[in-house]
């Protein structure tokens, strides 16, 4: 039976913006970013070794990988959005963007020391790909960084690799 492998990508957006003040404004020619400013992780029972800019995990053919991106400030100061995936290896299918509706629970104002909350509807998104085989692949993810006013900071890319080992 196939499983969902949820991968969280967290960008150190304030450091990226500070380190690359003249970042590319051309989505076809993004600035290469230092991978030490990007963190990927998944469930502990899927991770092989440690999480970081590279990710090694256990999955089987027909499993589905889902990438979600955020910033270390949870998009309050900066937002990061993936916009392109490039790889020529058939280890996984070409990722596609999926948009779906969701609902967040939010604590009610003044609800200190109480488990009282309301909800807020939102549109969620993630990138999704099918695992075709086990192995290792280097790929490129392109992302844009926006400030809190939704103004473009720049277009960036990094080239992580993933290693997929068969899970039992």
By percentage, how much of the chain surpasses pLDDT 70? 96
* 118 within domain boundaries: no
Paired with 86 in beta bridges are 140
Q: State the pLDDT at residue 49.
A: 67
Q: What is the pTM of this model?
A: 0.89
Question: How many Å from the N-terminal Cα to the C-terminal Cα in the chain?
Answer: 11
pLDDT digits (tens, 9 = 90+) for 89-135: 889 999 999 999 999 898 888 878 888 899 999 999 999 999 999 88
List of residues 6+ apart from 1 with CB closer than 8 A? none
* 112 within domain boundaries: no
Structure tokens at 123: 């549109």
* 151 within domain boundaries: yes
Q: What is the mean pLDDT of the chain?
A: 90
| Structural domains of the chain, count | 1
Half-sphere CA count of 66, side-chain side, radius 13 A: 12
* pLDDT bucket at 51, cuts 50 / 70 / 90: low
* 90 within domain boundaries: yes
Q: What does the alpha-carbon distance between residue 65 and residue 83 come to, in Å, rounded to a whole number?
A: 16
CATH value at residue 75: 2.60.40.3910
The residue segments making up the domain with residue 22 are 4-99+126-165
């Amino acid at each position: 039976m196939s499983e969902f492998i949820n991968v969280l990508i967290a960008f150190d957006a304030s450091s990226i913006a500070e380190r690359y003040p003249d970042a590319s404004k051309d989505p076809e020619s993004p600035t290469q970013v230092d991978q030490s400013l990007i963190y990927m992780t998944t469930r502990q029972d899927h991770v092989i070794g440690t999480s970081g800019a590279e990710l090694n995990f256990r999955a089987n053919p027909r499993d589905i990988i889902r990438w979600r991106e955020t910033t270390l400030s949870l998009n309050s100061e900066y937002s990061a959005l993936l916009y392109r995936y490039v790889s020529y290896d058939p280890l996984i299918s070409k990722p596609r963007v999926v948009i779906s509706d969701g609902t967040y629970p939010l604590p009610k104002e003044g609800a200190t020391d109480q488990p009282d909350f309301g909800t807020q509807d939102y549109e969620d998104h993630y990138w999704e790909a099918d695992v075709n085989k086990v192995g290792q692949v280097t790929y490129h993810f392109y992302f844009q960084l926006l400030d809190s006013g939704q103004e473009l900071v720049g277009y960036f890319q990094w080239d992580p690799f993933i290693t997929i080992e068969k899970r039992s």
